[in-house]
């Protein structure tokens, strides 16, 4: 990995870790919500957000690992991207199954399209890194940026929902 990418992955990895910590605040706010609807909604919206931030942290850890060759990093990231795509499809199914949740059409962009695009970029970057392609760090950084921003949007949306739902209790 070129030296000019080290700062990027240090900053995004730290941001992902800190945002995982902030999600615990959202969980603490929602502890009084015990209905089965609330549990399903938190599972459908909180867990994917945690996965997005965890993926950002994982990508940074992989990219900052000192290995003599780049291909193991590429392989790990490509497999992580494949796992992320599979998880995204499952998360979309779960969100669509929730009858009480009214997701507006534009909300499907951060809830479905951007995570899938990010994981596709991660797969391309991982394969590119494996074969020493110049675009690889850009594709991986793009996946990181998409997941980080998507996670921030989803965390904010979830926080607003918890606060609104808590006001009903």
Q: What is the pLDDT of residues 29-57, one digit of tens each?
A: 666 655 666 677 777 888 999 999 999 99
The rounded distance, in Å, linking the Cα atoms of 100 and 92 is: 15
Tokens coding 36: 């089965």
Nearby residues of 16 by Cβ (< 8 Å), 6 or more positions away: 53, 54, 55, 56, 57, 60, 148, 151
For residue 2, what are the CA distances in angstroms to 9, 73, 76, 132, 137?
A: 12, 14, 18, 12, 9
CA neighbor of 114 nearest in space, from 64, 157, 75, 73: 157
Q: What is the pLDDT of residues 148-161, one digit of tens each?
A: 999 999 998 888 87
CA angle in degrees (0–180, nearest 5) for 160-80-122: 80
Q: Work out the pLDDT band at 165, boundaries 50, 70, 90.
A: low
Q: What percent of the chain has a predicted confidence (pLDDT) above 90?
A: 64
Q: What is the pLDDT of residue 167?
A: 55
142 pLDDT above the threshold of 70: yes
The pTM (predicted TM-score) of the whole model is 0.90
Measured in Å, how far apart are the chain's first and last C-alpha atoms? 51
Q: What is the pLDDT of residues 99-113, one digit of tens each?
A: 555 678 888 899 999
Tokens coding 143: 């996946």
């Amino acid at each position: 990995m070129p030296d000019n990418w080290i700062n990027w992955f240090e900053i995004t990895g730290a941001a992902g870790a800190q945002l995982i910590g902030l999600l615990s605040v959202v969980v603490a706010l929602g502890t009084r919500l015990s209905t089965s609807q609330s549990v399903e909604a938190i599972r459908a919206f909180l867990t994917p957000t945690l996965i997005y931030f965890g993926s950002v942290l994982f990508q940074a850890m992989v990219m900052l690992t000192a290995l003599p060759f780049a291909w193991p990093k590429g392989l790990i990231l490509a497999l992580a991207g494949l796992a992320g795509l599979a998880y995204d499809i499952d998360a979309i199914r779960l969100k669509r199954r929730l009858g009480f949740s009214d997701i507006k059409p534009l909300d499907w962009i951060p809830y479905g399209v951007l995570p899938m695009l990010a994981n596709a970029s991660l797969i391309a970057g991982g394969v590119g890194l494996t074969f020493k392609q110049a675009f690889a760090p850009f594709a991986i950084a793009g996946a990181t940026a998409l997941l980080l921003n998507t996670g921030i949007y989803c965390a904010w949306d979830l926080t607003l929902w918890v606060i609104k739902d808590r006001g009903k209790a």
